[in-house]
A and B are shown apart, each in its own frame.
Chain A
Amino acid sequence: MRLLVILNLAFLCAFAVTMALMILLNQQKFGDILRGLDDSRVSVVTLDTSRRLRQAVDLGLPLKDIAESRSIVDALIDDYPELQSASIFDARGKLLVHGGNALNGGKAEAPADWTDGNREAEGEVWRIEDPESFVVGAPVINNFGKLEGGVAVRYSKARYASIVGGLTKELLEAAAVIFLASGLLAVLGTAAALWKLTTTARYLRQSVENLLNSDQEETPVDTDLAEFVGYSVSVRETAAKLAAAEASRR
């Protein structure tokens, strides 16, 4: 019984660790794919918006004078409810148009890391994270190569965390059931494998206990423990001599 418990405790620990690792790997890979798809989707939206604004600045208009900026931002917020906010800002970081949740406690300036990212992006999409959101932005550059400003959208980390959390919960529930089933299988299988050893040990113990019992005349032979034959002969002989000595003393 003790052997069965020790073995299966060890097995169950190994099962639990492996399954935890499996869940961790799946969760992280899923998170990577989800993040990649979300990021790619928002990047398409941001680049589209940046291109639309560029068409206007290519005509020579400064970014702050583009009349359709407000409608572009409002359309973004309406069409993509998962976006927390959409912002258009000039090259110095002044917010020109903003839609969705307030930014920076309602300040009129875009965060410094947005303008830094926008400046260093060289026409490509830039990405940063803040504690609550993922931010994707794209610069707006006119046809003379001048940086006019940028567009940035924020989408919530909460949605990402909720989807990944849902997967983790589902996997944990499945793992608990599978762990119980596999644990039961291991316990039953191990018990079956140990059954013969257990019965042999009981039989051997009974044989040993009977060695000093004078009613038992024959000693069973255990073929795997050849030493038992010499052992039992020695015990019986010594016991007989002791008995003879005890009888002579009486």
Chain B
Amino acid sequence: MIRGSRRAPTLAGLGIRIGFVAVAALIAANAVLAWVALGAVETRLEPVIKDKANVLARSIANDLYKAVSLDIPVGDLRGVDTYLEDLLTDHPEVAYLAVTDPERNVLFLAESEDSQDDEFQPLAANASEAQAGAFISFDTDYNVTHPMVHDGKQVGYAMIGIDRRFVRNTMGGIFTDIGISLCVAVLIVLELTLLVLSLTVARSIGLMRRLMHAVSEGDFSASIATRGRDDLGRVIDAMNGINAEINRRFRALASGGSAALETLREGRVFAEHGSYRSVQVLRAGDVQYPLFFFIFGVELSRPFFPLFVRDLYDPSIGIDASIAIAMPMSVWVVAMLFTTPFAPGLIRRFGTRNTLLFGMAPTSVGLIATAFAGGFIELILLRCLTAAGFGLVTAAILVRLAMTAPERRRALNIGVFVTATGGGSICATAIGGILAERLGYENTFLVGAALVFVAMSIAFGFLSPDEGVGASAGTSASRRRRLGIYGSPKFMTFMALSALPSRIVLTGFLFFLVPLYLDSLGFGGAAIGRTMMVYFLVLLVMNQAAAVIADRFQNHGILILVGGVSAGVGCMLFVATADSLLLACGVALIGLGQSFVMTPQVAVLPTYFRVETEAHGTGTVTAAFRVVERAGSIAGPLLAGAIVAFAGLAHAGTLVGYGILATTALMAVLLAVGVFSRRR
């Protein structure tokens, strides 16, 4: 007899514990490695710094020797201070330069600002220790002295101190990059933890619950297909075994024609013909993880893509450079548009997993080929290939989410998509900039392709092959009825005032203008990536909050208006400053605006357009929204490119900001007069 009760750890608790262990190990490992690296770098640079200091001291002595050789006392020389100051400017590692008399009294001195702040006394107490060419460390400096000799007599010394903090300070420049890499790694580790727990533990427990529920209702005809031999899999095997045994005994009775069969059938369902109904758990989160890695791979080029295109731009094609740089981004969306409508049909026929794989394969090939692109036209073609797959993957995931979500949780469910894309984009923009700066644009595309392969492996390994086969994306509609949604003035007005502007902000401003503007301010790849990352960070944090608020208070319209104002102000702030912090604030405001707009926009479709949804189906309305939205994505870079060609980078940003504010104001008027309403 087995007694007592046993409490299984909750999934959240398990995730926190495992995530904590992994993150702690990751941070500890990298902290130790950073410390080892700093020590190794300092050890190797010390002799190099010593050589440099000696050369500089000798150079000063040589320069002064000309005067000394004419019997001019060193102390009477004019302009030595300025000469030393100039040298100090040219050699940032030098803390001070001094010329002394034979008794080592300082005649001329130039000190770096840091040394002055520290009330630095050059060689004050320890000057006597400094021998010719010797390298002596005291205070915060490495010190070198070089004698000036004339006719066998010492006439003075040239002395140099190298700031020992130089190495540490210079290496500190990579700590930001290391910190960001570590943050991304932490995010990835947490994603991996949730991925594995979700696709193994949570899925198994969900399936067990489904089967237990079915059996407690008297349904013994179900079975769970298990993969792998873990502990939870063995529980499922045991449960399958129970059903198999009961059905075997039932079928044995049935074959003998027992009179008790009807009594047994009361309130019970058996697998009378030996075939079992498969238990499935469809959860929105299942597609979150492959999507995260897919977006991570594709978006890796985001911080430098306009700069990459600029390098391949060929003036002989006869298009203005600004518009040419925008073209691959617009072409990208056109190619996506072509494949987007195929997603529902492909899911119905081949299932979600295979549709995702159909999309991911050309994307990875396109990324690899882009790395080796030799010309502008070639680049355009390769972007088409990459985007075709990208469009199919994102549309397939959106359609699947829309199909499985109940209405009141729709915003939250769509939030899964925005969270995965936001998380992937944060990692991509942060790491993409660093990789581009260190490995080059081409290799960064290859890393992106590798990440898409990871996404393919996750989709292949963890998603069920027949999931989604035969599923319907809402009301089945003919081609004419599907196209009919575009004839709805109300629908198209909403698109023009909300969906299109938000995409123009995203593709025209953030993806096109921001990298070019930051590059024009002298920002490097890593700094551009860090600034753009702020957008996705704000989006990730605020998106779920906006989704919860929208679902709880059903105030989608207000959120859309607030988002529009925030994005417009963000655009105008961004191009009005060159300060890093304010630039980040501008990007953050755009991110805040987009997070308020993106999820409610999709969530309001069935309610604002109830008649259209009933006529055309949820899937058709959602797909039409994506199609029109992507038209905005096509127009965004081209529009921004045209404005840049006409008005320059900064003015183009301001004009985009004004445009967003104007469309938001019109939207507010239409909401106020009730054109868009939740009422039937």
List the interface of chain A (C-beta within 8 A of B).
Answer: 1-3, 6-7, 10-11, 14-15, 17-19, 21-26, 28-30, 33-34, 37-38, 40-41, 44-45, 47-48, 51-52, 55, 163, 166-167, 170-171, 174-175, 178-179, 181-183, 185-186, 189-190, 192-194, 196-212, 216-218, 220-225, 227-228, 230-231, 233-235, 238-239, 241-242, 244-246, 248-249
Interchain CA distance A239-B193 in the complex, whole Å: 40
Q: Is B238 a contact partner of A205 (Cβ separation < 8 A)?
A: yes
**B residues 61-103 touching A (CB-CB < 8 Å):** 62-63, 66, 90-91, 93
Contact among B170, B208, B260 with A225 in the assembled complex (CB-CB below 8 Å): B208
Q: Is B230 a contact partner of A7 (Cβ separation < 8 A)?
A: no
Q: Is B216 a contact partner of A40 (Cβ separation < 8 A)?
A: no
Interchain CA distance A1-B230 in the complex, whole Å: 6
Q: Is A33 a contact partner of B33 (Cβ separation < 8 A)?
A: no
Q: Is B215 a contact partner of A14 (Cβ separation < 8 A)?
A: no
Number of residue pairs spanning A and B whose beta carbons lie under 8 angstroms apart: 293
Contact among A196, A202, A238 with B268 in the assembled complex (CB-CB below 8 Å): A238
Given A37-B48, A242-B250: A25 and B231 within 8 A (CB)?
Answer: no
Smallest CB gap from B246: residue in A: A238
Given A10-B192, A19-B30: A228 and B212 within 8 A (CB)?
Answer: yes
Q: Is A166 a contact partner of B21 (Cβ separation < 8 A)?
A: no
In the complex, identify which listed stretch (B177-185, B502-510, B612-620) lies at the interface while the others stay far away.
B177-185
Question: Which 7 A-B pairs have CB atoms at the shortest separation, nearest pair first?
Answer: A230-B216, A189-B21, A245-B260, A182-B29, A201-B231, A227-B212, A231-B212
Smallest CB gap from A239: residue in B: B246
Q: Name the B residues within 8 Å of A179 (CB-CB).
A: 29
Smallest CB gap from A11: residue in B: B22
In the complex, per-residue mask of B1-30: 1 if CB is within 8 Å of any chain A CB, else 0: 111111111100010011001101110111
Q: Is A44 a contact partner of B55 (Cβ separation < 8 A)?
A: yes
In the complex, identify which listed stretch (B37-45, B148-156, B327-335, B477-485) lies at the interface while the others stay far away.
B37-45
Contact among A175, A194, A209 with B33 in the assembled complex (CB-CB below 8 Å): A175
Given A25-B174, A28-B438, A222-B8: A231 and B192 within 8 A (CB)?
Answer: no
Q: Is B37 a contact partner of A171 (Cβ separation < 8 A)?
A: yes
Interchain CA distance A225-B30 in the complex, whole Å: 40
Q: Is B215 a contact partner of A6 (Cβ separation < 8 A)?
A: no
Contact among B66, B235, B256, B260 with A201 in the assembled complex (CB-CB below 8 Å): B235
Smallest CB gap from A209: residue in B: B238
List the interface of chain B (C-beta within 8 A of A).
Answer: 1-10, 14, 17-18, 21-22, 24-26, 28-30, 32-34, 36-37, 40-41, 44-45, 48-49, 51-52, 55-56, 59, 62-63, 66, 90-91, 93, 167, 170-171, 173-174, 177-178, 181-182, 185, 188-189, 192-193, 195-197, 200-201, 205, 208-209, 211-213, 215-218, 220, 228-235, 238-239, 241-242, 245-246, 249-250, 252-253, 256, 258-261, 263-264, 268, 431, 434, 438-439
Smallest CB gap from A231: residue in B: B212
Q: Is A197 a contact partner of B181 (Cβ separation < 8 A)?
A: no
Contact among A171, A196, A227 with B216 in the assembled complex (CB-CB below 8 Å): A227
Q: Is A37 a contact partner of B178 (Cβ separation < 8 A)?
A: no
Q: Name the B residues within 8 Å of A239 (CB-CB).
A: 246
Interchain CA distance A181-B24 in the complex, whole Å: 12
Q: Is B239 a contact partner of A208 (Cβ separation < 8 A)?
A: yes
Q: Name the B residues within 8 Å of A196 (CB-CB).
A: 8-9
Beyond contacts A167-B41, A205-B235, A220-B5: 14 other A-B pairs, Cβ-Cβ < 8 A, are A7-B196, A18-B29, A29-B41, A30-B44, A33-B170, A189-B24, A202-B234, A208-B242, A212-B246, A223-B5, A238-B218, A238-B220, A241-B264, A245-B261
Q: Name the A residues within 8 Å of B10 (CB-CB).
A: 224
Give 27 pairs: A residue, B residue, CB < 8 Å, sorted on A: A3-B200, A7-B196, A14-B188, A25-B177, A25-B434, A25-B438, A29-B41, A33-B41, A34-B45, A170-B40, A182-B25, A182-B29, A185-B25, A189-B22, A190-B18, A190-B22, A193-B21, A197-B231, A201-B231, A222-B7, A225-B209, A231-B212, A231-B215, A235-B242, A238-B246, A244-B260, A246-B252
Q: Name the A residues within 8 Å of B264 (CB-CB).
A: 238, 241-242, 245
Smallest CB gap from A241: residue in B: B264
Q: Is A11 a contact partner of B25 (Cβ separation < 8 A)?
A: yes
Q: Is B192 a contact partner of A200 (Cβ separation < 8 A)?
A: no
Find the residue from A3, A189, A222 having the highest chain B CB count within 10 A.
Answer: A3
Interchain CA distance A10-B193 in the complex, whole Å: 8
Q: Is B25 a contact partner of A15 (Cβ separation < 8 A)?
A: yes
Q: Name the A residues within 8 Å of B2 (CB-CB).
A: 203, 206-207, 210, 216, 218, 220
Q: Name the B residues within 8 Å of A208 (CB-CB).
A: 235, 238-239, 242
B281 to chain A, nearest CB (A): 13
Q: Is A178 a contact partner of B33 (Cβ separation < 8 A)?
A: yes
Contact among B29, B193, B211, B238 with A19 in the assembled complex (CB-CB below 8 Å): B29
A78 to chain B, nearest CB (A): 13
Smallest CB gap from B182: residue in A: A18
Interface of A is mostly: helix
Smallest CB gap from B184: residue in A: A18
Smallest CB gap from A204: residue in B: B235
Smallest CB gap from B270: residue in A: A238
Contact among B6, B18, B188, B260 with A248 in the assembled complex (CB-CB below 8 Å): B260
Smallest CB gap from B257: residue in A: A249
Contact among A26, A205, A212 with B231 in the assembled complex (CB-CB below 8 Å): A205
Q: Is B215 a contact partner of A44 (Cβ separation < 8 A)?
A: no
B80 to chain A, nearest CB (A): 16
Interchain CA distance A28-B579 in the complex, whole Å: 27
Interchain CA distance A248-B18 in the complex, whole Å: 54
Q: Is B7 a contact partner of A227 (Cβ separation < 8 A)?
A: no
Contact among B174, B193, B233 with A26 in the assembled complex (CB-CB below 8 Å): B174
A234 to chain B, nearest CB (A): 5
Q: Is B209 a contact partner of A224 (Cβ separation < 8 A)?
A: no
Q: Name the A residues within 8 Å of B6 (CB-CB).
A: 199-200, 203, 220, 222-223
Contact among A26, A185, A221, A227 with B5 in the assembled complex (CB-CB below 8 Å): A221
Smallest CB gap from A244: residue in B: B260
Q: Name the A residues within 8 Å of B231 (CB-CB).
A: 1, 3, 197-198, 201-202, 205
Q: Name the B residues within 8 Å of A23 (CB-CB).
A: 33, 37
